[in-house]
Amino acid sequence: MKATPRQQLLKSIAQFIPRCERCTCDECEVFSGIFGNTFWHENVSPSMHHWLNKVNLPRLPMAAFPHLRKICNNGFIVDSNGKNSYLTHPERMALPTLYISGGKSLLVTPQTSFLANKYMMLHQPGFRHERVVVEGFGHSDLLIGEESYKKVFPHILSHLRLAEDGRRNGGVSAEESFCHGANLPLPVPFKVDHFVAAAL
Ligand SMILES: [Zn+2]
């Protein structure tokens, strides 16, 4: 599909916007100009980079930006009408949570997951809440990185197992919810029906 003159102008402007890493791929340059870099290139394979830019992203929907602007202007999450309809009902989020941030900051800072974890520990102390900062990762490379299966996914599997154990044992105390850094053993897979993992 041929780009309109307005779309071409937006793409040209996006390519001039400063960002952490430059790339030789035009689609990648446009995407990171609009959103900011979402991954460290060294963490994704050439085939993943090709798929992201040439297969997954032939067209970039812009419809979410008015909503994102409202969230940024408010400084916390709001609905698409700008109303604070999420944080006012923590009782609706009765579930274990795991927050994973990259230690090599990109796009967002680890402070976001720090605050989210504190919020859940305060409002839902009966569930397990954990936070992990994985060194060397930025944002989406936490989930699509070539080494994610070794350095990130074990944290998710471990949390699933511990949260399920906690549920069987009647929940966890606030003291059992915590933040930690790395080096978890590979856990055994298991069934779970109440879990949120956020890569922030
Ligand atoms: Zn790139």
Domain ranges of the chain: 5-65, 89-199
Is residue 178 pLDDT above 70, yes or no? no
**27 burial type by CB count under 10 A (0-12 exposed, 13-18 middle, 19+ buried):** middle
Residue 125 has pLDDT above 90, yes or no: yes
Give 100 Cα–ligand 1 centroid separation in angstroms.
23
Percentage above 90 pLDDT, the chain: 55
**CA of 143 relative to ligand 1 center, distance in Å:** 16
What is the pLDDT averaged over residues 110-127?
93
Which one has a higher pLDDT value, 177 or 195? 177
Q: Per-residue pLDDT for 186 more than 90?
A: no
CA quadruple 131, 137, 140, 142: dihedral positive or negative?
negative
With residue 164 as reference, give the H or E element that holds it: helix 153-168
Give the pLDDT score at 8: 87
pLDDT for the residue numbered 38: 94
ipTM of the complex: 0.99
* Distance of CA 25 from the midpoint of ligand 1 (Å): 6
Residue 193: pLDDT over 50: no
